[in-house]
């Protein structure tokens, strides 16, 4: 399998310029601009209802922005023609909040699905890649298991194996720690760092979990419901201690249980 090509020039994996996200007449986000560096672990953070999952839906093409542009490696994704859009879709993978595994399929079949849709690989070649991806996330030997036979943490890892199936340059995570106990969440964070460090993958995570934010984030962008956009960007530790915006300091110094997750991006 030939991995999707990512141009070597330029330092940014993702560039978001003047994005406006709306549902009919209701504007959720407006004039959102930021860039994600190659090989960065980048978090989208903020309180419930601020538009985190809405932004994710627009970044991965589930919804079309009312205005603005999303670029991957300098290539316009928002206004791309169908063939170019399909090629760009191969450059990223998504781990949805629930894992979004097909319950009637084994893990082998779930992880193989992107390979069937986007490549011309033989059945044997697909099986070899599936085994490799499951091993990468610590699920070697679980090919014939069904999602219902797995714990919550194992389902997340299986979903991650599927997100990695096409060797994407970028992987999006939608509230990856939702529903997980602290130990399982910590192990998932360690896996995220391992993937970035060993594969050079750019990671974008939608989350409100402070433990993960301070442990693995290189940078964050913070959204605010009232502002309908970005109110802070940078190193979360610096923002926590030095931000001049009280909303930012309050969020990053809060108790974990005070902020809930949004509904999540759905497949």
Give the model's confidence band at 8: pLDDT under 50 very low, under 70 low, under 90 confident, else very high. Answer: very low
Query: Has residue 7 got a pLDDT over 70?
Result: no
pLDDT of residue 184: 87
Domain housing 118: 101-167
Lowest mean pLDDT among 22-36, 46-60, 64-78, 93-107: 93-107
Helix, coil or strand: residue 3: coil
155 and 32 share a domain? Answer: no
Give the model's confidence band at 5: pLDDT under 50 very low, under 70 low, under 90 confident, else very high. Answer: very low
Mean pLDDT calculated for residue range 232-248: 96
pLDDT of residue 153: 85
The token duo for 116 is: 């069937």
Which of the given ranges, 146-155, 182-191, 200-209, has the highest pLDDT on average? 200-209
Start-to-end Cα distance in the chain: 25
CB-count burial class (<10 Å; 0-12, 13-18, 19+) for 7: exposed
**Residue 4 within a domain:** no
Higher model confidence: residue 76 or residue 261?
Answer: 76
d(CA 218, CA 28): 26
d(CA 176, CA 209): 9
Q: How many CA atoms are closer than 13 Å to the CA of 100, on its beta-carbon side?
A: 18
125 and 74 share a domain? Answer: no
- Count of structural domains, the chain: 2
237 and 159 share a domain? Answer: no
Q: What is the DSSP string of 32-95?
A: EEEEEETT-EEEEE-STTSSHHHHHHHHTTSS--SEEEEEETTEESTT--HHHHHHHHTTEEEE
Higher model confidence: residue 97 or residue 113?
Answer: 113
d(CA 162, CA 129): 10
The pTM score is 0.88
113 and 177 share a domain? Answer: no
The token duo for 10 is: 């330029």
Q: Tokens 């610096």 appear where?
A: 238
Q: Give the residue from 124, 144, 167 where a domain finishes.
A: 167
d(CA 259, CA 252): 11
pLDDT of residue 265: 59
CATH of the domain at 86: 3.40.50.300
98, 175 contact by CB (below 8 A): no
Mean pLDDT calculated for residue range 151-177: 91
Query: Has residue 258 got a pLDDT over 60?
Result: no
Higher model confidence: residue 10 or residue 189?
Answer: 189
d(CA 107, CA 104): 10
Query: Has residue 261 got a pLDDT over 60?
Result: no
d(CA 102, CA 118): 18
Lowest mean pLDDT among 4-18, 25-39, 196-210, 230-244: 4-18
**Residue 146 within a domain:** yes
133, 155 contact by CB (below 8 A): no
The token duo for 15 is: 């560039």
182 and 244 share a domain? Answer: yes
Average pLDDT, the chain: 89
Query: What share of the chain has pLDDT > 70, as a percent?
Result: 91
**Residue 197 within a domain:** yes
181 and 250 share a domain? Answer: yes
* Angle at the Cα of 160 from the Cα atoms of 210 and 205, rounded to 5 degrees: 30
pLDDT of residue 86: 87
Give the model's confidence band at 108: pLDDT under 50 very low, under 70 low, under 90 confident, else very high. Answer: very high
202, 5 contact by CB (below 8 A): no
175 and 247 share a domain? Answer: yes
């Amino acid at each position: 399998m030939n991995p999707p090509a990512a141009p070597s020039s330029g330092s940014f994996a993702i560039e978001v310029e003047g994005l406006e996200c709306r549902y009919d007449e209701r504007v959720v986000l407006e004039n959102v601009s930021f860039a994600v560096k190659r090989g960065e672990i980048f978090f989208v953070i903020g309180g419930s209802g601020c538009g985190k999952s809405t932004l994710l839906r627009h970044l991965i093409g589930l919804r079309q922005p009312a205005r603005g542009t999303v670029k991957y490696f300098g290539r316009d994704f928002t206004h791309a023609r169908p063939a170019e859009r399909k090629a760009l879709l191969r450059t990223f993978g998504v781990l949805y909040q629930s894992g979004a595994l097909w319950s009637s399929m084994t893990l082998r079949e779930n992880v193989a699905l992107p390979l069937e849709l986007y490549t011309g690989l033989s059945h044997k070649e697909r099986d070899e890649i599936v085994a490799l991806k499951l091993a990468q996330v610590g699920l070697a030997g679980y090919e014939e298991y069904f999602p219902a036979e797995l714990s919550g943490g194992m389902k997340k890892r299986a979903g991650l194996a599927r997100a990695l199936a096409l060797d994407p340059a970028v992987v999006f995570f939608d509230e990856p720690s939702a529903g997980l106990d602290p130990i399982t969440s910590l192990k998932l964070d360690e896996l995220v760092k391992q993937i970035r460090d060993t594969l050079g993958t750019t990671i974008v995570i939608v989350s409100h979990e402070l433990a993960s934010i301070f442990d693995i984030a290189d940078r964050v962008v913070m959204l605010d419901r009232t502002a309908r956009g970005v109110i802070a960007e940078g190193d979360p530790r610096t923002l926590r201690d030095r931000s001049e915006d009280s909303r930012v300091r309050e969020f990053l110094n809060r108790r974990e249980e005070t902020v809930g997750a949004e509904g999540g991006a759905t497949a």
